[in-house]
Chain A
Amino acid sequence: MDEGNKKWFSLGLGINRKHSKASACQKTSGCCQSSKDENPNESSLKKDGFDQVFELPMDRRSAFKKLTASLLIGAGAASTSCSFFAGDETKEKAQIEWEEQFKGNYKLMSDEEKQKTVDRLVRSYQLRTGKTINLSSKNAEEDVLFGYAFNISKCKGYMDCVNACVEENNQDRNSQMQYIRIHEMKDGKGFNFSEADDNYYHEVPAEGHFYMGTQCFHCDNPPCVDVCPVEATWREDDGIVVVDYDWCVGCRYCMAACPYDGRRFNWSKPIVPEEDINKNQHYLGNRVRKKGVMEKCTFCVQRSRVGKNPACVEACPTGARIFGNLLDPNSTIRWVLENKKVFRLKEDLGTEPKFWYFMD
């Protein structure tokens, strides 16, 4: 099998490797479809779903394992879909479940395949709850690289951002998962995280303290992406580091690799009351997650890709949060980077976060 042709992930230990040509799909960013222009003849790149699963060269043992797992699911689906008593909706549900089970990694999907899985998820939600969601699969815009700036002189610790984030991104209300942490720090002690309090409850701003927020910094050289064994997380072309919740196996390597505590894990099934669910969703963003997968801030991909500010930026009453396109020389984020004294957290690690701090 030609390395350049493969669309799924393998350990790449060099066994049977005939060509030293780099696989287009091992890049950390973007989706592999963009590499198609380079070799338009390779139609086999378009493999997804069944092909990705079944045409994988494997030894007997793993083949048997996969077959057993799939048979169990298949048997369930088949028994429902062929059942004389099951209604049309049940059959449709089984069909969707079957197709969702064997779909490929979102990163490797063509636009058409992305649309198909999004349609399936919308239909599946409709069948389960009778309600319609707006689920998008909008790709990264050209000439856009998202960046964020945070003014530590302006933040007063009101936590309106945290509130807005939870509501926008359908985070688990049971475990009170929050992407953003606001750290209350003593004046004169610098960034001392071990002494900072990120869960205060008193009137703010407290005297003698300053506030700073952390969340996923969407590193340009993200260590979380490097460690993922299944390539379920990657950096998109507009710089957002995303997770395919359906491809994540929940090993939490990324959580351990992140030096900024930017990632969150669903230890239990996330619960959001139906009336509180934000129905404006993106596949890579705030769609409802399941138990055992990683999630994190996505710069509100469902909002930012249509030109809006992330929910935290919009909610902040102090204007401490600035968001924009790093490639646009006239954007406010560029003005901040060029005119204020900016710095980043743990810059020496070489992770290249796209999240800058500054002071008035």
Chain B
Amino acid sequence: MKTRNDITLIAVLFFSMVLCSCKNHTEEYHSVTDRIAVESKNYHGISISSNKYHENKEMNEITIGEQTFLIPERKSQIKSYACTECHSKPLHEMNNEANTKKAHWDIALNHADENTMNCITCHNPKNMDALVSLTKKSVDFNASYKICAQCHTKQAKDWEGGAHGKQIGGWAPPRASLTCVNCHNPHDPHFESKWPAIFNTQKIKERK
């Protein structure tokens, strides 16, 4: 009887030691992904918002797929908009005019090759104030991402979700992202190489 009591006592002691020796940190989750899955189930939104960080910029709300977010308004940022201020007639009529002034001399199209693209691949020749899709549907300048997304489908998908491009204002909702043409010049989308912004001279000394 006594030995049995002893064994029980030892067993109890052993188990309590095992229990106590466990680290008492947040060991409830096996990994941070598990933790995210559990803790985000009861997500009810947060009290902070990033609204005030882009309220001085004019933004448009767009919805693609399941995502709704803000992008900067475009038309007011184009230097010589509205195009109809000069282009009062359709393009083919202007071409035939005698002594036409050569406009847009500063724009060279350096985007894909001639077989793929020319001006009217994106610009609407019938309505100069708008863009045009591959199937000749008119597209507003504020929705220019729709034009880009026709070819660059993979980038467009990533941009839609937030993996491509740049979120501005802050991380807190509502989401605001730059649109394609805010970084890429549609006429010349290539980026030049440049020098790094900073060079650590102290590191050179320390590592000698």
Interface residues of A, Cβ cutoff 8 Å to B: 20, 22-23, 26-29, 141-145, 147, 149, 151, 154, 156-160, 162-163, 166, 175-176, 178, 198-205, 220-221, 303-309, 313-314, 316-317, 319, 322-337, 339-340, 352, 354, 358, 360
B165, A319: Cβ atoms under 8 Å? Answer: yes
In the complex formed, the residue of B with least CB distance to A146 is B171
With known contacts A220-B32, A319-B165, A336-B161, A327–B203 Cβ distance under 8 A: no
- In the bound complex, how far is the Cα of B48 from the Cα of A22, in angstroms? 34
Q: Name the one of B26, B36, B203 contacting A28, with C-beta atoms under 8 angstroms.
A: B26
B167, A322: Cβ atoms under 8 Å? Answer: yes
- In the bound complex, how far is the Cα of B197 from the Cα of A148, in angstroms? 22
> Distance in Å from the Cβ of B202 to the closest Cβ of chain A?
4
Chain B contacts for A199, CB-based, 8 A: 199-200, 203-204, 207
Chain B contacts for A160, CB-based, 8 A: 197
- In the bound complex, how far is the Cα of B199 from the Cα of A158, in angstroms? 11
A335, B163: Cβ atoms under 8 Å? Answer: yes
Stretch in B78-86, B106-114, B125-133, B188-196 with 4+ CB within 8 Å of A:
B188-196
Interface residues of B, Cβ cutoff 8 Å to A: 16, 20, 24-26, 31-33, 35-36, 39-40, 42-50, 53, 154-155, 158, 161-173, 175, 178, 183, 191, 193-204, 207
| Chain B, interface SS category | loop
- In the bound complex, how far is the Cα of B45 from the Cα of A139, in angstroms? 17
Chain B contacts for A151, CB-based, 8 A: 163
- In the bound complex, how far is the Cα of B199 from the Cα of A199, in angstroms? 7
| Chain A, interface SS category | loop
Closest 6 CB pairs of A and B: A332-B162, A307-B172, A335-B161, A176-B202, A319-B166, A220-B32
In the complex formed, the residue of A with least CB distance to B24 is A22
In the complex formed, the residue of B with least CB distance to A14 is B20
> Distance in Å from the Cβ of A145 to the closest Cβ of chain B?
7
